[in-house]
Amino acid sequence: MNTMFKTKIKNLPPHLKTGNPAFKCGGLSRPALLFIFLIVFIFGGYFLYQLKSFLFGPQIIVNNLKEYSAAAEPFFEIQGTAKNISEFYLNGRKIFTDTEGNFKENFLLANGMNTLQLKTKDKFGNQIARYYYVVLKSQI
């Protein structure tokens, strides 16, 4: 059995027989394999980051308004955050966000029931719309 083990060792490639640390895999050295792994890891991470935006789609968060609200003054300010968006509209009028996605818009309410539509679209074509209803209490 000992001679069979020595025979197998003699048939090994030279870099494995001598314990040479220069690891070879398909002709590639260890630094080349590490470089390829890093490139795949970076592009894979970026792909997953972009996939998150695609899967979750656009999001609208309004801070100072519930779905049904009442207001005493006709001048009304709506503020919140929009994420993963490319276009953003309030009742058909384009509004803009800052670099963090925050928005603040003024709105003039009419007496009675007012409907506010926040509509957004992301770069993949996904759309969402949120509707808020605000009643202006008549000032007599």
Residue 2 is predicted with a pLDDT of 55
**Between 18 and 98, whose confidence is greater?**
98
Examine the domain organization and report whether 42 and 72 are in the same domain.
Answer: no
pTM of the complete model: 0.62
Examine the domain organization and report whether 68 and 45 are in the same domain.
Answer: no
Residue 25 is predicted with a pLDDT of 56
Examine the domain organization and report whether 71 and 130 are in the same domain.
Answer: yes
| Burial readout 16-37 (b: 16 or more C-beta within 10 A, e: otherwise) | eeeeeeeeeeeeeeeeeeeeee
Spatial separation of the C-alpha atoms in residues 136 and 54, rounded to whole Å: 38
Range of the domain at 36: 2-55
Q: How many CB atoms sit inside 10 A of residue 122's CB?
A: 20
Examine the domain organization and report whether 7 and 71 are in the same domain.
Answer: no
Examine the domain organization and report whether 44 and 76 are in the same domain.
Answer: no
Q: For 105, list phi and psi in degrees, rounded to 5.
A: -130, 145
Domain total for the chain? 2
